[in-house]
Structure 1
Amino acid sequence: MAYDTNNVFAKILRGEIPAHKVLEDDDVLVFMDVMPQAPGHTLVVPKAAARNILDADPASLAKLLPVVQKIAGAVKSAFAADGVSIFQYNEAAGGQSVFHLHIHVVPRHTGVPMKPHSGKMEDPAVLAQNAEKIRAALAGG
């Protein structure tokens, strides 16, 4: 299928929909998932148009994964997590619901299950606080 330029992440990248941004460079945008499965659930999104990993430009992927690694460390630190789950889904049958390549970074605590991706949006103030925690961890604080 063709890339849909009106998917929600494309709209976020164009600034048409607000997001709680954590980090942005020329190639990647990192922002808070509005339906987090745990506090600190973050999305790492390439700016290049790609439905998923199956049609992504390898050069874009090469820029994406170092940011995922950096965010995983910051999220783990910011939320005093025991570990981090990293998810990437491809096509509807693979669990993908937004058809722009994105990687989920979710801090995990031993014995605490992830919440379902339920459709219930988190309080924007909480998302803003969580984004600030991750930015502080990225800055070494």
Structure 2
Amino acid sequence: MALSFDPRWLSRYSTQDLAEDPQSPCVFCAIVNGEVEGHVIAETPDTLCFLDHLPATYGHTLVIPKQHCQDLFDISDESFQAVMATAKQVANALRVSCSAAGVNLVHASGLAAHQTVFHFHMHVVPRYDGDSIVVFPRLADPARKDEVAQRLRAALREELPPTGTAESSAP
């Protein structure tokens, strides 16, 4: 199945124009509550899945926690795990039902990352041979890998609890 989509259309719109007003009611909560129609495709006790209203590819689905949380920094571990487990099921269903050749799981937290709805959500984007979507345009300087690795190791040593394995103390 050769499908074509030019993702450059999004660059014509500023993130500010696309983002919901933080003071307005959450559209995803309204979908969960049945107040706004969404093309719901699946539901678990903790998650809801519905088609993206501006799909990148055929079958592009959103998976959200039913409980409102703003982004990756606000979601509980339990809700995050439920969303990820559901996203995996949706990915498998897209492979079978829509003949997806691959899948991208995409999440954005914050305006700088182009988050437009401030309710945590995972995009399950089926990929098709020749769809021309570029997920990682490779814009960072690879010469700075040592610097960023040191920064991340230091931050993770402070954030992550020790696991008791020899690997956890390795720099």
Aligned to 2:120, the other structure's residue is in SS state: coil
Q: CA deviation at 1:5?
A: 7.3
Which consecutive aligned stretches of 4+ in structure 1 deviate over 6 angstroms post-superposition? none
- Unaligned runs of 5+ residues in structure 1 are 115-141
Q: Which has the higher helix share?
A: 2
Contact 2:65–2:79, Cα closer than 8 Å, also in 1: yes
Of the candidates 27, 50, 68, which is equivalent to residue 49 of structure 1? 68
Q: Give the residue type in structure 1 aligned to 2:117.
A: V
The answer on 1:33 being equivalent to 2:52 is yes
Give the alignment's Cα RMSD to 1 decimal.
1.7
Aligned match of 1:118: none
Please say if 1:63 is aligned against 2:82.
yes
TM-score by length of 2: 0.62
Structure 1 Cα separation of the partners of residues 23 and 92 of structure 2: 32
Structure 1 equivalent of residue 34 of structure 2: 15
Q: Which amino acid aligns with 1:66?
A: A
Which structure 2 residues correspond to residues 1-141 of structure 1 after superposition, within 5 A?
6-114=25-133
Amino acid at match of 1:40: G
CA contact (8 A) 1:23 1:30 kept: yes
Contact 1:4/1:99 (CA < 8 Å) preserved in 2? no
Query: What is the CA–CA distance in structure 1 between the aligned matches of 2:24 and 2:72, rounded to whole Å?
Result: 17
Cα deviation, 1:99-131, whole Å, max 9, x if unaligned, reads 0000001111121124xxxxxxxxxxxxxxxxx
Unaligned ranges ≥5, structure 2? 1-21, 134-171
